[in-house]
């Protein structure tokens, strides 16, 4: 099973995506930060034996277009909805990690008919995260507040991109070399582009503004996820001590949760075999 590279011209943005498989059922894999769709490399071929699988670079990331705006999750989710229709599908199973999981959550709320089964990897709902900051969690997630500052992160990270990304890729994995040098080089090259770096920081900034506002409105209106929802998180990571399934049950009707052993944050790269096993058991072909 091969993985091929493609581009799709959507309304307002050009999206690069990787593709594997030829089945009638589609799986969309959405990456996090500081990564690109390359983070799914261990899963694309085996999933492609049962599904058509695509792993896009989200707008602003990797080889996708970098427009001057639109980095809120609602706009990025709309990109993904247009992408699957461009490819001839009207719905998909969606798997998101980190920032990509937040895009997937928003996509499932805004366009529930697009998504059959939903898997979210190593996140809690945005409004839960924003509402729970204390000195310990703020210290652990300091980069959210650093990325929020206008212009300053771009100034300080530029020229130090590799060191900055390695800090996260090594410390947020159980084993420092779990992501692998080939992937680190891929991510450093991607985020060394000033436009890509800026876009990814705008993604974080939107989390405190448009994304949080949209999530608050949905919560007040009683809008919940209705799709079957699988939650996976690193047993040794930041969510290892959280009641992840109980928290998400406040936002979704059908929830199952499973910690991934010997893993911190980068589930698809640290423990791809465990993630694959759980996804294959969850996603109907």
Check residue 109 and give its pLDDT: 98
**Domains of the chain, first to last:** 4-282 (3.40.50.1820)
Mean pLDDT by 10 residues, the chain (285 residues): 95 95 98 98 98 98 97 98 98 98 98 98 95 87 96 96 98 97 98 98 97 97 98 96 94 98 98 98 96
* Residues belonging to the active site: 98, 204, 265
Check residue 104 and give its pLDDT: 98
Q: d(Cα 222, Cα 89) in Å, to the nearest integer?
A: 29
Q: d(Cα 94, Cα 283) in Å, to the nearest integer?
A: 9
Check residue 238 and give its pLDDT: 93
The two three-digit tokens of residue 229, written as one number = 């929802």
Interval 139-184: pLDDT, tens? 999 999 999 999 999 999 999 999 999 999 999 999 999 999 999 9
* The overall pTM is greater than 0.95: yes
Burial annotation 8-18 (CB, 10 A radius, 16+ → b, else e): bebeebebbbb
CB atoms within 10 A of CB 223: 14
């Amino acid at each position: 099973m091969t993985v091929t590279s493609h581009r799709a011209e959507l309304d307002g943005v050009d999206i690069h995506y990787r593709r594997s498989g030829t089945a009638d059922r589609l799986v969309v894999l959405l990456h996090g930060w500081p990564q690109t769709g390359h983070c799914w490399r261990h899963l694309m071929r085996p999933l492609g034996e049962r599904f058509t699988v695509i792993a896009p670079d989200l707008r602003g990331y990797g080889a996708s277009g970098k427009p001057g705006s639109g980095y809120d999750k609602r706009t990025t989710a709309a990109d993904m909805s247009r992408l699957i229709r461009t490819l001839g599908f009207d719905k998909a199973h969606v798997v998101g990690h980190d920032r990509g999981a937040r895009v997937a959550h928003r996509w499932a709320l805004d366009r529930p008919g697009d998504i059959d089964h939903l898997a979210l990897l190593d996140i809690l709902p945005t409004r839960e995260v924003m509402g729970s900051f204390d000195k310990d969690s703020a210290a652990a997630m300091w980069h959210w507040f650093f990325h929020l500052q206008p212009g300053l992160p771009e100034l300080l990270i530029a020229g130090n991109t590799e060191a900055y990304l390695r800090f996260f890729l090594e410390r947020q994995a159980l084993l420092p070399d779990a992501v692998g040098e080939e992937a680190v080089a891929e991510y450093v090259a991607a985020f060394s582009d000033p436009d890509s770096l800026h876009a990814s920081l705008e993604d974080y900034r939107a989390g405190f503004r448009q994304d949080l506002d949209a999530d608050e409105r949905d919560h007040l209106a009683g809008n919940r996820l209705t799709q079957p929802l699988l939650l996976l998180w690193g047993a040794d990571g930041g969510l290892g001590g959280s009641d992840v399934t109980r928290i998400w049950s406040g936002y979704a009707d059908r929830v199952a949760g499973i910690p991934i052993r010997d893993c911190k944050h980068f589930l698809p790269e640290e423990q791809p075999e465990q993630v694959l096993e759980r996804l294959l058991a969850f996603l109907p072909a």
